[in-house]
Amino acid sequence: MFACGFIGLFTGCFIALLIGYAIIAHTTGTYGPQSNTVYMETVYPLLSMFSLLFLHLFLYGCNIYMWRKNRINYSFIFELSPRKELKYRDVFLISTLSMTVVVGVLFVHMSLMDKGYSYSQVDLIPGLLLLAFFVLLMCPINIVYKSSRYRLLSVLRSIILSPLYKVVMLDFFMADQLCSQVPMLRNLEYVGCYYITGSYKTQDYGYCVGTKKFRDLAYVVSFLPYYWRAMQCARRWLDEGDTGHLINLGKYASAMLAAGAKLGYEQEKSAGWLCVVVIMSSIATVYQLYWDFVKDWGLLQMNSKNPWLRNELILRQKFIYFFSMGLNLVLRLAWIQTVLHYNFGGVDYRLTGLFFAALEVIRRGHWNFYRLENEHLNNAGKFRAVKTVPLPFQEVDE
């Protein structure tokens, strides 16, 4: 009840600050057709990055709640310590508190600009906010969920150094999450460049986009999550000799080719590049959908006692599985917006990009539940899994 009270408090504060931020943004025309270019190029990427990050974290809290409710033994599968793992209330508390801080700081920043302060006087504020989060993440003092923070850093190290480390379930699961956070990673690269190079002193936001080495770095960031995941598949093939991992590697290779085609289309908007984007993205989407439904979720089994699903199901209502497959299909097709570039009523294209990036994060949160359900029931990934369920006793945190 103590945690629930703070979750409610921070949720209310976040909503109030967000409304205040939206009002100031509307009165100053920050996000309208005549948007403030400097603000959108310097501060907005930071807001977009944090929004995608903590939306993903919030959805992970929802995943934990649903896994626990349906007796899916995610702790055992992920090899988490029962005493140190984050409960769903902890995750909700972190996400609501963090977004309250983020929106609060940006509300103060925009208020100061509205009062006439120059960019040179207040532009360091967003950078300090990002620095504070990094310092807290790596803080060695035993505060603010230190064990979980250091476990996260350990998993990220294993992912970045793939294929040097043996792949465990949590490593591959986190790498898949990063594949859905490419826009967030690109924003992080851009914001880091903007502040580390000192561009914030002159508001030279074009330096980190126009300079060839930073432009190439942005392209590399777009490929890294797929590369890491592909290297994990290669490592598992070397360890286990299962050619299925090479087929899975092909899925991430097709995603990299599709991403490369999109980058080429961004540079040269020609009919030829458009055809390449459509062809490569369509192939990658079909490949990904097949793997989602058949391999990751274990569905579409024609000879199953539950037609087109699988023999063992945790959810009682079968139509939910069909609805989820349809929803996953629709959300997988969000890449079409990168080709159409549809403008929603004059809204700044960056907001449109954030909306579609958020849809991919939502799709990943939705995918997570069924991936763990299939792992729990069938040991689909050949990791540690168990069909036994926790005893139906009320737990302390409930």
Q: What is the pLDDT of residues 333-363, one digit of tens each?
A: 887 776 666 666 667 778 888 999 999 999 9
Structural contact between residues 349 and 343, judged by C-beta atoms closer than 8 angstroms: yes
Out of 123-127, 206-210, 274-278, pick the least confident: 206-210
Tokens at residue 283, please?
Answer: 């192939």
Q: What is the pLDDT of residue 120?
A: 73
Tens of pLDDT, residue by residue over 191-230, are 999 999 888 888 888 888 878 888 888 888 989 999 999 9
Q: Residue 190 and residue 358: Cα distance in Å, rounded?
A: 19
Structural domain harbouring 195: 2-378
Tokens at residue 202, please?
Answer: 């002159």
Whether 389 has a pLDDT exceeding 70, the answer reads no
- What is the full DSSP assignment across 180-198? T-HHHHHHHHHHHHHHHTT
Q: Residue 72 and residue 64: Cα distance in Å, rounded?
A: 9
Half-sphere exposure of residue 257, counting CA atoms within 13 Å on the CB side? 16
Q: Which DSSP category does 382 fall into?
A: S
Residue 17's nearest CA partner among 86, 89, 100 is 100
Residue type, 14: F
Structural contact between residues 126 and 39, judged by C-beta atoms closer than 8 angstroms: no
Q: Please, which pLDDT band fits residue 263 given cuts at 50, 70 and 90? A: confident
Tens of pLDDT, residue by residue over 286-316, are 999 999 999 999 999 988 899 999 999 999 9
Q: Considering only residues 174 and 352, tell me which one the structure prediction assigns the higher pLDDT.
A: 174
Residue type, 212: K
Residue 398 counted as domain residue? no
Q: What is the pLDDT of residue 282?
A: 92
Q: Please, which pLDDT band fits residue 392 given cuts at 50, 70 and 90? A: very low
Q: What is the pLDDT of residue 303?
A: 87
Q: Residue 55 and residue 262: Cα distance in Å, rounded?
A: 25
Tens of pLDDT, residue by residue over 23-46, are 988 888 777 666 677 888 888 999
**For the chain, percent of residues with pLDDT exceeding 70:** 92
Tens of pLDDT, residue by residue over 44-56, are 999 999 999 999 9
Residue 162 counted as domain residue? yes
Q: Quick one: how many helices (H) and strands (E) in the chain?
A: 17, 0
Residue 164 counted as domain residue? yes
Mapping DSSP to helix (H, G, I), strand (E, B) and coil, where does residue 347 land? coil
Q: What is the pLDDT of residue 123?
A: 85
Q: Please, which pLDDT band fits residue 133 given cuts at 50, 70 and 90? A: very high
Half-sphere exposure of residue 160, counting CA atoms within 13 Å on the CB side? 7
Residue 397 counted as domain residue? no
Return contacts of 76-82, CB within 8 angstroms, 24+ apart: 76/384, 76/385, 76/386, 77/169, 77/372, 77/375, 77/376, 77/383, 77/384, 77/385, 77/386, 78/169, 78/170, 78/173, 79/168, 79/169, 79/170, 79/384, 80/170, 81/147
Residue 242 counted as domain residue? yes
Residue 383 counted as domain residue? no
Span 247-271, average pLDDT = 89
Residue 392 counted as domain residue? no
Residue 388 counted as domain residue? no
Whether 79 has a pLDDT exceeding 80, the answer reads yes
Q: How many domains does the chain have?
A: 1
